[in-house]
Amino acid sequence: MPVRQFDGQHLRRARRARELSQEALGRAEGVGVEQPTVAKWETGATFPEPERLPAIARALGESLDSLFPRLGEPDLADLRCDAGYPQKRTGELIGARSHIPVSNAERGVRRLNAAYVPLLAAAYKVGEKELLAAQDRSFGIVVEPTVPALPVPRTLAEKLTYLLETTFPHEQPTDAQIAVAVNGHAGVEVISAGTVEALRTGTPPATEVLSGLAAGVVLEGLAEFFGVTQLYFQSDEELERQVVDAISLLALRNTDGFGLAARGAEAGLDPAMLAKISALVAEAQQKAGPH
């Protein structure tokens, strides 16, 4: 069981940042301890039960993983603790008279009855596959985590949303703050908070919004604010057109050398990409005519 890391000093800093007393933290919903207990946690004299950690994190406005990180993938007991349940309550979660079925599964003694799996998964707020993988780990079976495929942001709205969520995971800047930064970069007012909102939400489409603005200056300011290149905000069609133009220019300048370079890169290029580049080179060479 990869126990979550607990640092009393980190807990104290988080509590003080929230301006909560030890007594108030102890009284928070789901924590349920007296002030001396919280004091012992913060000095490292004792540690809270794992199933109390989610309630502590909620009381401090922190995510469970950021306040109490865990190395490794969870087993069945970890899922229970992350859901905030003591083991003795698991019987009622699966509609059984006793918590023994879950206890046996957590200790790697006997697997859960198939009828209990969806009930326990729903109580722990995880998928059934995730629950079964955690049960396998309780039985000592190594299960590699399944990493879901993340959607690739395509539109300007999707890219802005992605940057906001990844660059500012805890407290995102307002549309007004972004507008101030872009205008500061431009040296004049080129965008308003309402326009930033329109770009961020995609209503109306970005092409309509940017058509009435100094689009290049706006995108340049957004790129500086988020710390990315301006190319990031260009559409796939725009990037492809630039690649085509670049290849065409290279082909016009040095038809033989570029063709040989493309043919010599077969071992390092994807066949489909190589075929596309070769076709573009041939097209450019044809347009260029004999040299």
pLDDT at 70: 87
Question: Which tops the pLDDT comparison, 117 or 239?
Answer: 117
| Topology given in CATH for the domain delimited by 156-234 | 434 Repressor (Amino-terminal Domain) (1.10.260)
- Residue 254 binned pLDDT confidence (cut-offs 50, 70, 90): low
* pTM for the full predicted model: 0.52
The predicted-structure confidence for 23-54, as pLDDT tens digits, reads as follows 999 999 999 999 999 999 999 999 999 999 99
**Residue 191 in contact with residue 183, Cβ under 8 Å?**
yes
Using the predicted structure, report yes or no on whether residue 268 has a pLDDT greater than 50.
no
Question: Which tops the pLDDT comparison, 181 or 213?
Answer: 181
pLDDT at 279: 66
Using the predicted structure, report yes or no on whether residue 288 has a pLDDT greater than 60.
no
Domain boundaries, the chain: 8-67, 76-138, 156-234, 237-288
Using the predicted structure, report yes or no on whether residue 223 has a pLDDT greater than 50.
yes
**Residue 110 in contact with residue 100, Cβ under 8 Å?**
no
pLDDT at 260: 45
Using the predicted structure, report yes or no on whether residue 149 has a pLDDT greater than 70.
no
Using the predicted structure, report yes or no on whether residue 75 has a pLDDT greater than 50.
yes
As a whole number of angstroms, the distance between CA 222 and CA 234 comes to 12
pLDDT at 66: 87
* DSSP-derived secondary structure for 120-175: HHHHHTS-HHHHHHHHHHHTT---PPP-PPPPPP-SHHHHHHHHHHHHSSSSPPPH
Answer whether 8-67 and 156-234 agree in fold. Answer: yes
pLDDT at 71: 81
C-alpha distance from residue 177 to each of 23, 168, 206, 222, 243 (Å): 37, 13, 19, 11, 34
Q: Kindly report the length of the chain.
A: 291
pLDDT at 291: 45
As a whole number of angstroms, the distance between CA 146 and CA 192 comes to 42
Question: Which tops the pLDDT comparison, 207 or 246?
Answer: 207
Q: What are phi and psi of 251, to 5 degrees?
A: -65, -40
CATH code: domain 76-138 is 1.10.260.40
| Topology given in CATH for the domain delimited by 8-67 | 434 Repressor (Amino-terminal Domain) (1.10.260)
